Amino acid sequence: MKTIAVIGLGYVGLPLAVEFGKKRKVIGFEINQARVDELTAGHDHTLESSDEDLKEAKFASYTTDIERIREAQIYIIAVPTPTDKNNRPDLTPLIKASETVAKVIKDGDIVIYESTVYPGATEEDCVPVIEKMSGKKMNEHFFVGYSPERINPGDKVNTLTTIKKVTSGSTPAIGKEVDALYNEIITAGTHLAPTIKVAEASKVIENSQRDINIAFVNELAKIFNAMNIDTLDVLEAAGTKWNFLPFRPGLVGGHCIGVDPFYLAQKAQEVGYHPEIILAGRRLNDSMGAFVASETVKIMVKSGKSVKDAKALMLGITFKENCPDIRNTRATDIYTELKEYAMEVDVFDPWANKEDVKREYGIDLLDELNDLDKYSAIILAVSHNQFKHYNFRAAKEAGAVIYDAKSILPRDIVDARL
């Protein structure tokens, strides 16, 4: 049975290493020694893999030593594919991972990419790096597969093994081998795509489609807000029709939905097409943090509250509920906009790591939250379970303006909601 090396042990790579590590030898490679030490000690701070899962992966080990992965015959690359400050795809992590594999690859080995990319990236951007550094040729000395990740951080129901997986290979035979490999761990089954480009395209449109649908309901929220109509009431009424899609308005961040459409847009522009709907959806979704903040300020002004130097509380900074992931969170847009109004803004999030938030966004999180009554405005930005039990009613009675960006609080205690 072939040995697998998983390159990158984050939200995508670690679950793969763990599941394969329950059945065959796996070497998890990571450049962060602290991460390797943590996993070797049997704990995952991202909470995607439980301590019990790590213990059950008895054939898995973790290392920063590149020589260790030379033992593998299959390399699975699962590194981030972010965008830069101008929203252009940044393939740097992917290129560096390809360089790492190129240093150890042997004849007959298979390299499988899981990172989300635009169609053509695997064969046009990554493979040439391996070929140049190793002196080997694809489909002659080594082979390539692509199987896009479908990890949903924080979701304990729809997990790696229970979500159907798309697979592909650089030749029909390799496609079948890659497909059989994933079928060892994916109980939901697999779908073998005819080409790597088809598999790449299928992944990038999954999140682009969701982004556009959320943008639509976010635009509805802005329209209905101007009409003084409750958006959630409208969506619940429309949802009684069997084929109405149940999307809700909100902030759109994270490592997938808020990023992937830019990958597709970039490739579209390279081939001479300017994508209108995709980019319009991105612009609208990126505007929602500022919208929430400005609407909160309007309510304060209408109720006679001073805005300058007022104390505001933002609850939640992760990109989604009950998850410590802060990558590309749009909750920070609310914070930034409130600061533009010269407000004093406290942020509390029991899930987020304080040091990570400070390093990434320059925001100091509260260590604990004892009193809601001292704030002039409270914005529920992320619907962590803990927040549902807070005494918002007392804060409301004390005069706080409450904006519920997640529409989870009782209607009678909030001043507005998305």
For 47, counting Cβ atoms within 10 Å of its Cβ (0-12 exposed, 13-18 middle, 19+ buried), the class is: middle
For residue 166, the cross-strand partners are 191
Token pair for 246: 């149940």
Kindly write down the DSSP assignment for every residue of 156-199, as one continuous string: SSS-GGGS-EEE-BSSHHHHHHHHHHHHTT-TT-EEE-SSHHHH
**Closest to 161 (Cα-Cα) out of 56, 72, 80:** 56
Residue pair 295/404 in contact by the 8 Å Cβ criterion: no
- Angle between the 92-102 and 127-134 helix axes, to the nearest 10 degrees? 30
Of 78, 256, 334, 345, the active-site residue reads 256
Q: Is 126 a catalytic residue?
A: no
Alpha-carbon gap, residue 212 to 325, rounded angstroms: 22
Alpha-carbon gap, residue 185 to 198, rounded angstroms: 23
Token pair for 359: 């390093």
The residues that are catalytic are 256
